[in-house]
Amino acid sequence: MADQDDQSPAEPNSAPAEADTATADMFGGAPVATAAPAEEAGHYTVIARKYRPKAFDDLIGQEAMVRTLKNAFASGRIAHAFMLTGVRGVGKTTTARLLARALNYESDEIHEPSVTGLAAEGRHCRAIVEGRHMDVLELDAASRSRVDEMRELLDGVRYAPVEARYKVYIIDEVHMLSTAAFNALLKTLEEPPPHAKFIFATTEIRKVPVTILSRCQRFDLRRVEPEVIGGNLHAIAEREGVRIEADAIALIARAAEGSVRDAQSLLDQALVQVEAGGQVTQAVVRDMLGLADRAQTIDLFEKCVRGEAGAAIEAFRVIFGYGADPATVMSDLMEHCHGASLAKAIGPEALVLPKDQAQRITAIGAAVSGASLARLWQMLLRAYDEVRRAPDPAAAVEMALIRLAYAADLPGPEEALRALREGGDIGAISGPPASGGGLRGSAGVATRMVAKPRPSPVAESQSQPQPRTFEEVVALIDTRRDIQLRLDVQKYVRLISFKTGAIAFEPAPGAPNNLAQRLAARLKEWTGQPWLVGAETGGGAETLEEQAQRADEAFRAEALADPFIRQVMEMFPGAEIVELRGAAPVETGVAATETEDDEEGE
């Protein structure tokens, strides 16, 4: 030990065996052999290890924690115990090692704990990173959870560090410690010696006793957003000199579910899917992950909402034939239902999706009531569980699609009660009784309230108007005398595309947030068919009001160009044309135009 005290910092790899033996003995285990770095041994280092953050500035998605730690180190208010919690792969162990380096950082210029100096390697940094420093002890609580092992560990706390500033104890998966081990840790954790620091990491923070949490400074590491993960993967791909499509990176980032390590591991796997020099495409990543194309699952969800059971099953079989996992398809349907509900409640800006996909999801949300989306969500939750437990998952998905499509035509309890209260035709909104699927209550209400035979589809379609153009939609609104909707459509709807059952428009500035929902609801009520009305950004034509204004300006310009009108205006200086009447072309002076020139200048 005396030799190690005198060891020069310039030779961190000298005599590592003694340090490892002492460290292992403190944990009560066998010595760990120190291997040469992977690069020197000629082994491939996986991306997740190769690009592990070496400074706090390299941590992505954890800005709040980094800011707090920087301020704490700058002011000298450094806690004696830290609790790091979060899901897998968000940087708990990496942060613990960075903290250990920061606490013991020392260089020729810096001789105090430092967070900002980690970019340059200090005297103890390499030994800490490689896990062989005498004063930085890493313990896996999952394999050493007994009280006697904890007592053996704590016996060494009272001794000063050998060569560093602090003796740092890193305990990973601390929730795995037994109750007795936690109790043995309490007193030391409450009043540790000034040279001891504790860093705990766990994925199950609720299993850690409150008595332990109250003695620690807690940091909750967040799931990293897909956009942030995507930027990190793009930078890694550039440094690795490989080509990968942006859509492929987006798929990996979404599949990682907020875990940076998972994303980097998936990227590592994707890079070997193609030959050297090739490009990793979206199709390659989708095939690797067993995912379905999101556009295809959105189309599948639309068919379910429309009640097209046969078309939905055919669409699923195509997706399944491409190798998509049935449970993943059901998960995507749940995601689309959630997205449609968010778009309905908050607006399209709540969706973090490509523009075309966000528009389709928003249109579904506008066409379906909030209560129906809530019932679809319950059915999808149940179907997802069935698919995971079914001996034939594909068959379970098909049965779920039939149930979803069948339930799309059934009224909710609120619709049936409203029709009964208003004395309407209950039979017109009632369907045959459903079997399960989350709409059992609705089906029961509809079955008991059938008062009239349901009209045939032919008679129903003949009795209700079916607009074929946008002009016919406007005329239908006029016929139904919905004045407010007519004014909003005339003033704010910039039409992008129209087909029977689907309208896409760009809202003009100042448009009501619920215009698409109101228009879809009214058209469904008046035509008896579901309509998908979506508000999009860019590409819309002029509104009806803008068209009328442009026509008036052209008419006014044409009138002012008439020689007789010009002569009248010259004869009465200061006169003003207040109103133009008539849409016929100007042929004989004022034949189609009346001027009011009572207002004369003095």
User: Hey, what CATH topology would domain 226-289 get?
Assistant: Helicase, Ruva Protein; domain 3 (1.10.8)
Q: pLDDT, tens digit, for every residue of 287-306? A: 787 666 677 888 899 999 88
Residue at 191: amino acid letter: E
Q: pLDDT, tens digit, for every residue of 316-354? A: 998 888 778 899 889 889 999 999 998 888 887 778 776
User: How high is the pLDDT of residue 416?
Assistant: 60
The DSSP element (H or E) to which 526 belongs, if any, is: helix 515-527
User: Which whole-number Å values give the CA distances from 572 to 359, 558, 567, 576, 601, in the listed order?
Assistant: 55, 20, 9, 9, 8
CA 187 – CA 145 distance, rounded (Å): 17
Confidence of residue 17 (pLDDT cuts 50, 70, 90): very low
Q: Average pLDDT, whole number, for the chain?
A: 77
Residues 6+ apart with CB under 8 A from 270: 244, 248, 252, 280, 284, 285, 288
pLDDT at 114 over 90: no
CA 312 – CA 322 distance, rounded (Å): 16
pLDDT at 462 over 60: no
User: How high is the pLDDT of residue 447?
Assistant: 32
3-class DSSP string for 269-295: HHHCCCCCCCEECHHHHHHHHCCCCHH
Surface-to-core class of residue 360, CB atoms within 10 Å of its CB (0-12 exposed, 13-18 middle, 19+ buried): buried
pLDDT at 21 over 80: no
Residues of the chain with CATH 1.20.272.10: 310-460
Q: Is CATH 3.30.1490.190 what the domain over 310-460 is classified as, yes or no?
A: no
CATH class for the region spanning 461-541: alpha beta
Residues of the chain with CATH 1.10.8.60: 226-289
How many helices (H) does the chain have, and how many strands (E)? 29, 10
| Residue-wise burial string across 406-438, b where 16 or more C-beta atoms lie within 10 A, e elsewhere | bbbebbbeebbeebeeeeeebbebbbeebeebb
Task: Record the tokens describing residue 111, joined without a space.
Answer: 């001789």
- CATH, range 2-220: 3.40.50.300
Residue 532 has φ and ψ, to the nearest 5°, of -100, 110
Residues of the chain with CATH 3.30.300: 461-541
Q: pLDDT, tens digit, for every residue of 482-530? A: 888 888 888 888 888 888 888 888 888 888 878 888 888 888 888 888 8
User: How high is the pLDDT of residue 380?
Assistant: 92
Average pLDDT over residues 450-478: 65
User: Which whole-number Å values give the CA distances from 332 to 246, 255, 341, 372, 489, in the listed order?
Assistant: 20, 11, 14, 18, 34
CA 363 – CA 393 distance, rounded (Å): 30
Determine contact, residues 293/319, Cβ cutoff 8 Å.
yes
